[in-house]
Amino acid sequence: MATVKIELPDESIREVEAGSTPYDVALGIGAGLARQAIAARFDDQLIDMSTPLERSGKLALITQNAPEALEILRHSCAHLMAQAVKELYGNDVQVTIGPAIDNGFYYDFFSDKKTFVPEDFEEIEKKMAELAKADLPITREEMTSAEAIELFRSMGEDYKVELIEDLGETRVSLYRQGDFVDLCRGPHIPRTGILKAFKLTSVAGAYWRGDEKNAMLQRLYATAFADKKQLRAHLARLEEAKKRDHRKLGRELDLFSFSEEAGAGLVIWHPKGALLRTIIEDFERKEHLKRGYDIVVGPQILKTELWKTSGHYENYRENMYFTEIDEQGYGIKPMNCLAHMLIYKTKLRSYRDLPQRYFELGMVHRHEKSGVLHGLLRVRGFTQDDAHIICRPDQIDAEVKGVMQFVQDVAGIFGFEYCMELSTRPEKSIGSDADWERATRALRSALDDVGQPYEINEGDGAFYGPKIDVKLKDALDREWQCATIQCDFTLPERFDLTYVGKDGEKHRPVMLHRVIVGSIERFIGVLIEHYAGNFPLWLSPVQAVVVNVTDNQADYVKQVESRLREAGIRVQSDLRNEKLGFKIREAQMSKIPYMLVVGDREMEEGKVTPRFRDGKSLEPMTVDEFIRYIADEVERFH
């Protein structure tokens, strides 16, 4: 009998019969490991526990708590959910696809008879639990594409037939559990009994293959974990996330709204929301000026020919809006870089003039599909804290490090942790291989020099250059893409940007595209959820509200409000004929940092009694003392 040599992670070698499975190897080590292992990695490929090992190689067994396990568990649970749906609703539904995603999985179903609603979730979960308890073996089989097409056609599963036809493969793999069969590459867990902790979370619409010209499907979202304790913790986080949802808090705090009359994805800022973004924008201007940036403003529309020169028309026009004026085509800007290059070209530049750092809080518009619009986090019109640094090649390293320090400073001010990714050349791109290599090497070198950990994100760079992406981690440990640094040798070439070097000859500069918080709209959405609407004092649109106990104090309240406003404190007064407790609760619901209570005693002594939004109170103090107290707190935290 032929044998193969299997190298385990501890570098020990086991010689087993050819055709043995990872389960056989695990059982040879111990029965407990064989029970715990749900899949394996053979060399660089994930495989099932039942896959025959026909050659020598490195084998790592994947137990339920291994990093790779969760995706496999969730993918298998997607099949379990599809099986449950088919058993409950039979031929009234057709199955399509069901991948694992961040924080869970989904499965898309087509039906012109059954409409899924949240009230169905309990019934589906109950059927999933029954199928899991049955501990059905999950087995892989291969067949020709023609055989698979015939099988799924006989089952009335038209979407599976279309998938196989479009694959263009000679053979395909299927997975069976009980009476359910699905087209899938795998791998999957060995049996359904391993799945013990799952929960359906929501239902949404989704077009087949993401194309709005295709049929509308119903997408059931769910999640799964290795055990119920992890599931409970996740569901608690989801519940907290619902409370922090920026769309909900945006309404409650009267910050912003959307209107179908205005158009989808276009934000309407209310007074408090507009003040909040003004505070952030003023902060941005101040921080950029401190770091040697010049503030510039470009037009909202530029001639279509410019967008063709830049490559946006060829590579990005599906995301752009176009119009025509006097028979001349114009593109509404999705980015701010073109005007910044035109500013640079207005005069001859010397090597001594570089770097030029142009900063713009630029309003841009991008055509996002209606299905992906999501509150402030995905809109069609937004403002970027956009800057372009035009520099000599020998200045790239220092400028990239300067932007990274800027990101670190701002993340610290707002209380975010963050991580970084280096994104490389995408398939759809412009520029030479040599320029892409130079740009990628420059970004990688800067990251390595400062000792910043980072991941490689292959093929996700901008179409004109590689980039460093910064992902902020919020209070719930969720990641949000905000800052980015892009290194571009191509657009300076296309727009013929030059500078005169020490040798008196013209040379080509490099352009760094960068944002610090990115979209102001998106950043505010993230901040609302990060702080749960409880903005720090320096950022709160309303920092204090003065409330009276009786009408006796009305005039004094207005005096206090006026004095605080003169001192630069964002203040309101509440003189409504309501009980004090009611006004205090409303102020707390509005998440105002301080309530200043004024009764007869405070009025007589020229004081106020500050109360925090968490219910705690300070001793009465004069208005001037409160002004100093506020100033000290703002200075401490900002």
Give CA–CA dist 289/577, Å, rounded: 47
Which of 75, 513, 607, 611 is catalytic? The answer is 513
Is 467 a catalytic site residue? yes
Is 477's pLDDT higher than 90? no
Backbone phi, psi, residue 571, to 5°: -135, 150
Which of 75, 160, 380, 467 is catalytic? The answer is 467
- Do residues 210 and 357 both lie within one domain? no
Domain boundary among 32, 63, 94: 63
Which of 48, 386, 469, 474 is catalytic? The answer is 386
pTM for the model? 0.83
Measuring CA to CA, how many Å separate 591 from each of 246, 528, 544, 623?
14, 11, 10, 22
- Do residues 601 and 559 both lie within one domain? yes
- Do residues 505 and 590 both lie within one domain? no
Is 325's pLDDT higher than 90? yes
- Do residues 502 and 374 both lie within one domain? yes
Computed over every residue of the chain, the mean pLDDT equals 94
- Do residues 399 and 521 both lie within one domain? yes
Mean pLDDT, residues 290-311: 96
pLDDT at site 439: 87
pLDDT at site 616: 92
Beta-bridged to residue 174, according to DSSP, are 141, 183
Domain boundary among 63, 80, 101: 63
Mean pLDDT, residues 483-498: 92
pLDDT at site 438: 85
249 in any annotated domain: no
Q: Report the domain count for the chain.
A: 4
Helix 433-449 to helix 396-414 angle (10° resolution) is: 50
CATH number (domain holding residue 41): 3.10.20.30
Is 127 a catalytic site residue? no
Which of 191, 388, 530, 611 is catalytic? The answer is 388
Q: What is the pLDDT of residues 420-472, one digit of tens each?
A: 999 999 888 888 888 888 889 889 988 998 888 899 888 888 888 889 999 99
13 in any annotated domain: yes
Q: What percent of the chain has pLDDT over 90?
A: 84
CATH number (domain holding residue 158): 3.30.980.10
- Do residues 48 and 82 both lie within one domain? no
Give CA–CA dist 523/529, Å, rounded: 10
327 in any annotated domain: no
- Do residues 385 and 399 both lie within one domain? yes
pLDDT at site 1: 66
Helix 121-133 to helix 69-89 angle (10° resolution) is: 110
Mean pLDDT, residues 242-251: 95
**Which stretches does DSSP call E strand in 170-283?**
171-177, 180-183, 197-207, 216-225, 256-257, 268-269
- Do residues 340 and 416 both lie within one domain? yes
78 in any annotated domain: yes
Q: What is the pLDDT of residues 162-180, one digit of tens each?
A: 999 999 899 999 999 999 9
Q: What is the pLDDT of residues 264-282, one digit of tens each?
A: 999 999 999 999 999 999 9
pLDDT at site 29: 92
pLDDT at site 638: 61
- Do residues 477 and 553 both lie within one domain? no
Q: What is the pLDDT of residues 390-413, one digit of tens each?
A: 999 999 999 999 999 999 999 999
Range of the domain at 459: 270-299+333-531
Which of 177, 384, 486, 543 is catalytic? The answer is 384
Q: What percent of the chain has pLDDT over 70?
A: 100
Measuring CA to CA, how many Å separate 230 from each of 199, 234, 262, 292, 551?
12, 6, 43, 48, 54
Q: Which of 55, 54, 53, 100 is nearest to 76 (CA)?
A: 100
- Do residues 551 and 506 both lie within one domain? no
Q: Select the more confidently predicted residue: 452 or 366.
A: 366
Q: How would you list the strands of the sheet with 607-612, edge to edge?
A: 571-574, 544-548, 594-598, 607-612, 621-622
Beta-bridged to residue 45, according to DSSP, are 42
258 in any annotated domain: no
Which of 75, 277, 366, 583 is catalytic? The answer is 366
- Do residues 133 and 9 both lie within one domain? no
Confidence of residue 102 (pLDDT cuts 50, 70, 90): confident
Confidence of residue 37 (pLDDT cuts 50, 70, 90): very high
pLDDT at site 465: 86
Which of 184, 337, 482, 487 is catalytic? The answer is 337
Place of tokens 């059982």: 27
321 in any annotated domain: no
259 in any annotated domain: no
pLDDT at site 18: 92
Domain boundary among 243, 260, 291: 243
For the beta carbon of residue 549, count every other beta carbon within 10 angstroms.
Answer: 17
Is 386 a catalytic site residue? yes
- Do residues 438 and 355 both lie within one domain? yes
CA dihedral 398, 399, 400, 402 (to 10 degrees): 90
Is 560's pLDDT higher than 90? yes
CATH number (domain holding residue 607): 3.40.50.800
